[in-house]
Amino acid sequence: MRALLRRLDWTLAAAVGALCVCGLVMVYSATRVAEAPGMVPPSPLAQKQALWMLIGIGAFAAAIAFDYEAIARWHAPIYAGALALLIAVLIIGHSPTGAASWIAVGSFRLQPSELTKIAVMLSLASFLSRRRDTIGQPRVVLLSLLIPAVPVLLVLLQPDFGTALVMIAIWFGALYLVGAKARHLAAVLAAGVALFALMWNLGRLPLQEVPEPVAKIVSKVALRDYQKRRLTVFLNPQADPLGAGYHVIQSRVAVGSGQVVGRGLGGGTQGRLRFIPERHTDFVFSVVGEELGFIGSAAVVALFLLLFWRGLRIAMLARDSLGTLIAAGAVSMLIFHAIVSIGMSVNIMPITGLPLPFVSYGGSNLLASFIAFGLLQNVHMRRDRIIF
């Protein structure tokens, strides 16, 4: 084990460590002012985030303890367990924010869709690594698409459009790096756009003449009005300044007011006075921009670029196609999250509710991010077989 630990990618570890420290500081700063009755106390959220980080570090240790080939052999039960949890969410799911995405046991809440990303990543890597020589065949590409398709459908029924997109991003990243033909990926992308257009218009269909079970599924999969507003309002937030555009407008004000060096920790009015909704989760980068300014924001972006570079390097240097695919899935997941979350905050991406990995508050996402980080390190540590 010592020989393996010496082979950790310490540059990647330093980037993740810096993001975690930034996350703790930002969560504390964004939630520490709570004088008004009924508001969240200043310390518990940061304390919970620190606790989840400790749990995440434990998950990271477990993810690097065993050879990734041994972990991948368990992909089928892991995938089946993830699907079972997603089905359980549809039956007993907890809905604090409009989407029934959590399973609640007392004060403990778990978001199974976050861990399902890891299951999709492992199953996809296992499937494609056994068909490395036939990846150019359309049949293999379509069969591989079934792996994320089932959980994507279950996640859309919650509904959680953002998480569904992450699973598709994992699929695209893995297929692209393993050498799938561009025309096949373009065909799937075109089909996805057509499916999205169908989801956009499903709500207009007359469902009275459709059997009730089918009508329920259609109504679940169809995009809600609030989702449509979220996806379009970033083009013109002023069209609905007190509704769907409110998040974007306040976020832009926060990021712009930070200027070069920021207002200082705890000095941001948009975050401190709670003008930014979800300031410690989906819009935590807005708090970074307001309190740490352009310099702090650029540093966070640089850390994610470093993570992206090291992740791609690990995928390219992996000892086999299984390692390449696992690393590709992990880095696709983390970077897609980062691009969308940062893009939401600066109004260049639609609002999809994706947290910023290692920075946003949230135990389930933090746990999944640490597992993905652990799998990346696992592939790097075992890029050459070690003989003791």
Per-residue pLDDT, 223: 72
Q: Quick one: pLDDT at residue 262?
A: 83
Residue 308's nearest CA partner among 287, 327, 326 is 327
pLDDT at 59: 95
- At position 53, the amino acid (one-letter code) is M
Provide the 3-class DSSP secondary structure of residue 371: helix
- pLDDT score, position 375: 96
Residue ranges per domain, the chain?
2-381
CA atoms within 13 A on the CB side of 203: 11
- Is residue 288 classed exposed, middle or buried when 0-12, 13-18 and 19+ CB atoms within 10 A define those classes? buried
pLDDT at 35: 44
Can you give the pLDDT at residue 206?
63
What pLDDT does residue 76 have? 94
**Are 33 and 42 spatial neighbours (Cβ–Cβ below 8 Å)?**
yes
Residue 208, pLDDT score: 58
Distance CA 57, CA 311 (A): 18
115-167: pLDDT as tens digits: 999 999 999 999 999 888 888 888 889 999 999 999 998 998 887 888 999 99
105 membership: H or E segment, kind and range? strand 103-105
Q: How far apart are the first and last CA of the chain?
A: 10
Per-residue confidence in pLDDT tens, the chain, 388 aa:
676 677 899 999 999 999 999 999 999 888 875 444 454 455 688 888 999 999 999 999 999 999 999 999 999 999 999 999 999 888 887 665 556 677 876 677 888 999 999 999 999 999 999 888 888 888 889 999 999 999 998 998 887 888 999 999 999 998 988 888 888 888 888 988 888 787 777 766 666 566 666 566 666 667 777 777 777 777 777 766 766 677 778 888 888 888 888 888 877 777 666 667 777 888 899 899 999 999 999 999 999 999 999 999 999 999 999 999 999 999 999 999 999 999 988 888 888 878 999 999 988 999 999 999 999 999 999 887 543 3
Q: Are 188 and 145 in contact (CB under 8 A)?
A: yes
DSSP string for 95-131: -SSSS--BEEETTEEE-HHHHHHHHHHHHHHHHHHTT
The two structure tokens encoding residue 139: 């049949």
The model scores a pTM over 0.85: yes
- Can you state the angle between helices 321-345 and 112-129, rounded to 10 degrees? 140
